Each structure stands twice: as structure tokens, then as C-alpha cells.
Amino acid sequence: MSAPGKQVPKHVAIIMDGNGRWAKQRGWPRLKGHEAGAESVRCVVRLCRDLGIRYLTLYAFSKENWVRPEAEVSGLMRLLRWYLGDQEHEFHKHKLRLRTIGCREDLPAPVRREIERIEQATADYDAGQLILALSYGARTELAAAARAIAARAARGELDPESVTEATVAAHLYAPDVPDPDLIIRTSGEMRLSNFLLWQAAYSELYVTPVLWPDFREPDFMAALTAFGARSRRYGGLGGDDKDATC
């Protein structure tokens, strides 16, 4: 399989939205939507592997999601643990590294143990990386980076005048991971919802009305087609704009 368009992203990040609405449309409990969304995760992981997309970051559970009903949160944690166990053989078979970003200490102990076990078992794999954002919030990440930099400055390890964008980036949760080239949001909502705010500075955004449990190969390929047709300027001028005067 080859990706459409003239460029293939190295890193795709996805805000997986719409599970609850998908379930509500069918008169089902919200957790049924999350369960259905697990199949979309499997589909996208496979496509990234087949297309040579090296990094896939999935916004699986935000810091704000803890305020949801206890039954839904508990169900999501059980589903996460089940998914990790169910897919572990795929990580090993395809040499896929599992990573997480976020406040891991917020997660239930059995979930943390499962994550840590699989992270350690896949740490040396280099065919691609699946990064799960769990109990994640971009503002929390930036605040943690600021505290770490301030602590280094207080210890005399770092001159505050030397702090640059690269310094901040080096103190984020996954400093070795390149910024996402493409951020996809399902369900039609036009916002980032506190997701990768620093890393998204020059990411291409693609919003689809498709709800996450319905998101499959044609929808992912449509996002890649749109990405491939764009001119990424990074603040400069694209080929069609070289003679622009404003």
C-alpha cells in the first residue's frame, strides 16, 4: 500500500472524538461507543504500519476526562487494559514500540503495571511507535516543563537567559518524538482540546465529521490525500507565493 499525495507524514496524531455520540445515536451506553472505537484504533495502527508512518499519537484519555461518570471512567480503564493485552502480540510481531505521555500516576495501578510491562518489552523496537496520550493535558505538560527548567536554573545548571524553544521542547514528555505533521480530529469539532499545543505549532489540521467508531481506511486515506495536497510553509512563502507583496 502506498500513501496518496506527494508527501507522507512521519507523525500523525489523532483526537479520537465521537464515541459517546455514536453510542447515543443507537440508544446504547457510552461505553459501547468506546468499545467500537477500539476497532478504529486497530485499523489506523495497521494503516500507519503499512504506509510507513513512523509515529502515531492517539488522544486516548485527557486530564479533563476524569470528571466523567465513574462507571464510564472505570469502563474506559478496563477497555484500555484489555486492548493492551489483546494487541501485545501485534507489537511484538511488527516490532512496534508502545509509549505513553501524560500523568501516568493518575491511572489505576493495574493499568500502570500493564503499560510499564509492555513499554519495557517493546522499548528496543524501531519499526514504528504507538504513543497513547493518557491522563494528558498540554497545559499540564507545559507547566511540568517550566517547573523542570526552573528547578535546573535554581540549581545553577542552567542560565535562564539561555532558555530557548529547544530548551522547552527538550523538557516535554517525549522530546525525541518529532512534532506531528498531521493532526486529525473526528466528529467535526473545530478545536484542539488541550492536545499537543506546543507540538502542533505547524501541524496540518484535518477535521472530519465521521465519528471515531466509524473511522476506517477510506477516511484515513482521505486525510492523507488532503495532507499531501497542502503546501507546508512554516511561516515562509510557498511556491505559488514567491512574488507575494503582503
Return the active site residues. 17, 65
How far is the C-alpha of 191 from the C-alpha of 15, rounded, in Å? Answer: 10
Give the E-state strand segments of the chain in sequence order. Answer: 11-15, 55-62, 96-101, 128-136, 182-185, 204-207
- What letter does residue 8 receive in the DSSP assignment? -
**Partners of 58 in beta bridges:** 14, 132
Question: Which are the contacts of 199, defined by CB distance < 8 A and separation ≥ 6?
Answer: 13, 172, 179, 180
Helix (H, G, I), strand (E, B) or coil at 88: helix
The burial class, CB within 10 Å (0-12 / 13-18 / 19+), for 46 is: middle
Backbone angles phi, psi at 138, to 5 degrees: -65, -35
Sign for the CA dihedral angle at 78, 80, 83, 89 comes to negative
How far is the C-alpha of 48 from the C-alpha of 50, rounded, in Å? Answer: 6
